[in-house]
């Protein structure tokens, strides 16, 4: 009898220990703390095994050598990229913690993975494969401080930092690819080719009255029909699903008494390809930027983030055929890009609506019990509606004629390596040929006075002249009859705001400073 009692006690303790292991660190600490890297690994290891639908692997490594865990949910026998792509299902990629002080996505995705391991959301398996990377910036996550992200309402025991282990903002690295994390992400895009990419954040200074906000890709060079599909079909459907669950949700931005246009309005400022969502859009895929509101409770932010991801996945599952068709059609149009006259390479955000209803709320000051610092908390009882202009459109500030492709001297190895890292196809000229080409003459050349992401960004201006060139065998050729043609133009055009000139890749190949080393082949239209 005594032995049975001991055995029963051991069984109970084992079950209690397993149950405790399947709680996230916020759940174990009354939402005072956020998960450390080892917590995330231990939590994933503790999930009940369900290898038929939930499998685990690694996205890549952080600068400090931490492996970035990746979960794959769906009815596939293994998680090899070719297996996932051959499945014919809609692939959705979700990542948390790109800014490691914005920890809600990490915690929300751990909770969602627990539900998936226990059999929840089984309906998604019919049409979806979901790839989840809960802790994208693992090194920044470990730099916990009570003084990171001032004014955010918790977690009161501290959170990580924005930058990665190199001191880089990973959400500014998507064209220059200087971090191992973003390089791993872009490699995943090439290998798994997700149709939808979801990037989870928390606001950083915006004031409004919503639990959570979102954005789609923004850039004047996006594929027009795909941009229209996301603006008029996909995101309104996700928005409707959120409001049905009683979440206050809106597009991401900040209400300003004076916008760059000189008038009050709700403004969103980021259109450059360096940002995750815009980069994904220029690859002809649907991007979802999620921004939980800093000035609601930590638990509310976790729950709202999880709800938005679920709404995206519910909509993706319900309309997978239409989404796959929209993405495939965008790829087909990208292959035909050389039939287009011009494409934007510099842009700006402009007014999209002169009268938009917007929820605003004041905040109250609350002291952090551990640091004594001031935090802000939304005054839910003081919500009010204003009607104001909304700035969510884009327009070109500078455009370039679309060539047949670009000729790159084989000595420009750094340029070729960067293009290949993005998955852009590069051919090699097999025998000498004569072509009608566009050669860019630089008339103005400026370096920024201030450093940005460890660079002094370069801006050039000039004009193309038409020349006849003898092209030697071995010259590299980037054709624009490929799906990533829009991205290729953003990288290679000299006046691009986010290309190889802007990020100083071409600085080592200055040569004759008045002539750009990369030339275009002028298409016969």
Which of 115, 311, 44, 75 lies closest to 196 in space, CA to CA?
311
Please state the pTM of the whole predicted model.
0.94
Summarize pLDDT for 409-464 with one digit per residue, the tens.
Answer: 999 999 999 999 999 999 999 999 999 999 999 999 999 999 999 999 999 999 99
Across the range 150-160, mean pLDDT stands at 97
Counting Cα atoms < 13 Å in the Cβ hemisphere of 181 gives: 35
439 bridge partner residues: 465
Mean pLDDT of 356-367: 96
- Note the maximum CA span of the chain: 97
CA distance 111 to 394: 36
What is the SS3 string spanning 72-121?
A: EECCCCCCCHHHHHHCCCEEEEEEECCCCCCCHHHHHHHHHHHHHHCCCC
Domains of the chain, start order: 31-349 (3.40.630.10), 403-521 (no CATH)
Which pLDDT band, with edges at 50, 70 and 90, does 16 fall under?
very low
* Whether the Cβ atoms of residue 400 and residue 347 lie closer than 8 Å to each other: no
Residue 336 C-alpha from the chain's centroid = 26
Distance of CA 348 to the CA centre of its chain: 19
Q: What is the pLDDT of residue 510?
A: 74
- pLDDT at 10 (0 to 100): 38
Please, are residues 267 and 204 in contact by the beta-carbon 8 Å criterion? Answer: no
76-122 pLDDT, tens per residue?
A: 999 999 999 999 999 999 999 999 999 999 999 999 999 999 999 99
Residue 129 and residue 91 in contact, taking contact as beta carbons nearer than 8 Å: yes
3-state helix, strand, coil in the chain (%, to 5): 35, 30, 40
């Amino acid at each position: 009898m005594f032995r049975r009692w001991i055995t029963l006690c051991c069984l109970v303790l084992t079950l209690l220990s397993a149950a405790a292991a399947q709680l996230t660190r916020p759940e174990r600490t009354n939402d005072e703390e956020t998960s450390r890297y080892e917590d995330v690994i231990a939590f994933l290891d503790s999930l009940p095994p369900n290898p038929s639908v939930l499998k685990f692997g690694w996205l890549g490594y952080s600068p400090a050598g931490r492996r970035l865990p990746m979960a794959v949910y769906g009815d596939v026998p293994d998680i090899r990229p070719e297996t996932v792509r051959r499945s014919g299902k809609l692939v959705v990629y979700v990542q948390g913690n790109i800014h490691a002080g914005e920890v809600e996505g990490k915690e929300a995705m751990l909770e969602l993975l627990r539900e998936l391991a226990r059999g929840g959301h089984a309906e998604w398996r019919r049409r979806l494969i979901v790839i989840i990377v809960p802790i994208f910036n693992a090194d920044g996550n470990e730099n916990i401080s009570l003084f990171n992200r001032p004014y955010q309402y918790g977690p009161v025991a501290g959170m990580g930092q924005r930058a990665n282990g190199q001191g880089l903002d990973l959400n500014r690295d998507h064209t220059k690819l200087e971090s191992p994390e973003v390089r791993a992400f872009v490699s995943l895009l090439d290998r798994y080719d997700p149709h939808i990419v979801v990037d989870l954040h928390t606001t950083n200074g915006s004031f409004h009255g919503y639990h959570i906000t979102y954005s789609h890709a923004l850039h004047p060079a996006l594929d027009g029909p795909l941009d229209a599909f996301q603006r008029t079909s996909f995101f309104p459907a996700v928005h409707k699903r959120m409001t049905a669950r009683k979440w206050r949700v809106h597009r991401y931005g900040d209400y300003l008494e004076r916008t760059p246009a000189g008038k009050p309005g709700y403004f969103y400022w980021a259109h450059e390809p360096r940002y995750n969502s815009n980069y994904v859009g220029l690859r002809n895929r649907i991007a979802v930027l999620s921004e939980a509101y800093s000035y609601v409770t930590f638990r509310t932010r976790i729950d709202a983030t999880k709800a938005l991801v679920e709404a995206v996945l519910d909509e993706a599952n319900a309309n997978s055929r239409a989404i796959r068709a929209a993405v495939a059609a965008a790829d087909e149009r990208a292959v035909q890009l050389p039939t287009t006259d011009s494409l934007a390479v510099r842009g700006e955000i402009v007014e999209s609506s002169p009268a938009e209803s917007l929820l605003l709320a004041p905040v109250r000051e609350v002291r952090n019990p551990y640091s004594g610092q001031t935090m802000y908390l939304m005054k839910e009882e003081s919500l009010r509606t204003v009607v104001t202009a909304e700035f969510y459109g884009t327009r070109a500030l500078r455009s370039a004629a679309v060539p047949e492709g670009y000729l790159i001297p084989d000595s420009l190895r750094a340029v070729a390596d960067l293009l290949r890292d993005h998955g852009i196809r590069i051919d090699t000229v097999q025998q000498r040929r004569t072509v009608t080409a566009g050669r860019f003459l630089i008339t103005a050349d400026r370096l920024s006075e201030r450093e940005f992401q460890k660079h002094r960004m370069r801006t050039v201006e000039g004009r193309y002249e038409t020349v006849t060139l003898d092209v030697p065998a071995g010259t590299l050729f980037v054709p624009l009859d490929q799906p990533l043609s829009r991205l290729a133009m953003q990288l290679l055009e000299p006046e691009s705001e986010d290309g190889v000139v802007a990020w100083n890749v071409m600085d080592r190949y200055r040569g004759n400073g008045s002539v750009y080393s990369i030339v275009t082949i002028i298409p016969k239209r």
